[in-house]
Amino acid sequence: MTQNSKMSIFLKGLIKENPVLVLMLGTCPTIAKSNNVFNALGLGLCTAIVLILSNMAISAMRKIIPDKVRIPCYILLIAGFVTLIQMLVHAYFDEMYERLGSFIALIVVNCIILGRAEMFASKNNIVDSMLDGAGMGLGFTGALLCIATIREVLGAGQFFGYDLPFFSTYHFPLLQKTFGGFLVFGIMIAIVTKLTAGKAPLKKDFACQGCPSAHLCHGECKEEKEVK
């Protein structure tokens, strides 16, 4: 493989196939923990590290793992890496651990990780899988940071916990709540749709392609799958 295609594997996760804004994966943590930049950065980086590790491990073992038990195997590996990261964050970044709470453990069920394992790591070599993990992880972090910046600046009048001159007097606290999570996320997707109109393989609707369990759901999502 050429240098160029390696670069494109890494870059596609950042923009063209951004896991949050284009593939619509990992919506739960995106909405819940994008209320400020600190949380977004912490959760984004934790997820990225888990994604890189799990992609590499799954890719390394893709020939050993029997097809029938691959999902339990993936879940085992992912849960293991998540627990590792959870312990390390608890020991060395105590404040972040308290702020993120149970969301570190919930990285296990973040569809991005199982989704990339199923869609990419199980079919590609270790280096490509690592690059894919890094690209997707940073794409997730980037999208989370964009949403978090809007919500923190307009919702709390702060950036990274520091008061901003104009916004600290005029802000809209509702954006810090669940309401803001849904609203800003919705508007971001609308903007991405507008900008990439016709160019990106954007899914207009919330389909099952991204869902790692799609193959299990007995034709409920079959139509969408076949289209893909």
Partner 1 sequence: MRDFFMIIFAAVFVNNYVLSKTLGICPFLGVSKKFNQAAGMGIAVVFVMVLATAVTWPIQTYVLAPLEIEYLQTIAFILVIAALVQFVEIVMKRHLPSLHGSLGVYLPLITTNCAVLDSALSNISEGYSFLHSIGNAFGGGVGFLLAMVLFAGVRSKIDQNENIPASFKGLPITLVAAAIVSLSFMAFMLK
Partner 2 sequence: MNKEYIRSVVVVVCICLVMGLALALCYHITQPRIEANELKKLNEAIRELFPASVGDPIEIALTPDAPKTLKNLYKTADGKGYVAKINTNSGFGQSTFTVGIDAATMKIVGIKCISYGDSVGLDDGYLPSYSGQDKALADVVSSASPAKKTKATIEAAVRDVFTYLENTEFEEVAQ
**Rule CB under 8 A: which residues touch partner 2?**
64-66, 68-69, 72-73, 76-77, 79-80, 83-84, 87-88, 90-92, 94, 98
Q: Is 194 in the site for partner 1 (CB under 8 A)?
A: yes
| Nearest CA among 88, 53, 97 for reference residue 74 | 53
Minimum CB distance to partner 2, residue 6 (Å) = 28
Indicate the residue among 56 and 184 with the shorter CB distance to partner 1: 184
Can you tell me which of 161, 173, 216, 223 binds partner 1, judged by CB under 8 A?
Answer: 216
Question: What is the DSSP pairing of strand 162-163 with strand 158-159?
Answer: antiparallel
- The answer to whether residues 122 and 70 touch, using CB atoms and an 8 Å cutoff, is yes
Residues in binding contact with partner 1, number by CB under 8 A: 53
Can you tell me which of 31, 57, 112, 121 binds partner 1, judged by CB under 8 A?
Answer: 31
From the CA atom positions of the chain, what is the Rg in Å? 18
Indicate the residue among 56 and 221 with the shorter CB distance to partner 2: 56
Q: Indicate the helix (H) or strand (E) that contains 163.
A: strand 162-163
Pair of tokens at residue 165: 């001159």
Indicate the residue among 10 and 212 with the shorter CB distance to partner 1: 212
Pair of tokens at residue 23: 């593939």
Q: Which stretch binds partner 1 (CB under 8 A): 12-20, 51-59, 142-150, 183-191?
A: 183-191
Distance between CA atoms of residues 1 and 82, nearest Å: 31
For 189-221, letters b (16+ CB in 10 Å) and e give beebeeeeeeebeeeeeebbbbbbebeeeeeeb
Q: Which stretch binds partner 1 (CB under 8 A): 6-14, 58-66, 68-76, 123-131?
A: 68-76
Minimum CB distance to partner 1, residue 48 (Å) = 18
Name, in order, each residue with C-beta under 8 angstroms of 34's C-beta and a sequence gap of 6 or more: 40, 144, 147, 148, 151, 181, 184, 185
Indicate the residue among 10 and 97 with the shorter CB distance to partner 2: 97
Minimum CB distance to partner 1, residue 171 (Å) = 17
Helix axes 70-92 and 37-60, enclosed angle (nearest 10): 140
Q: Which residues bind partner 1 (CB under 8 A)?
A: 24, 27-28, 31-32, 71-72, 75-76, 79-80, 82-83, 86-87, 102, 105-106, 108-111, 114, 177-183, 185-187, 189-191, 193-194, 197, 203-208, 211-213, 216-220
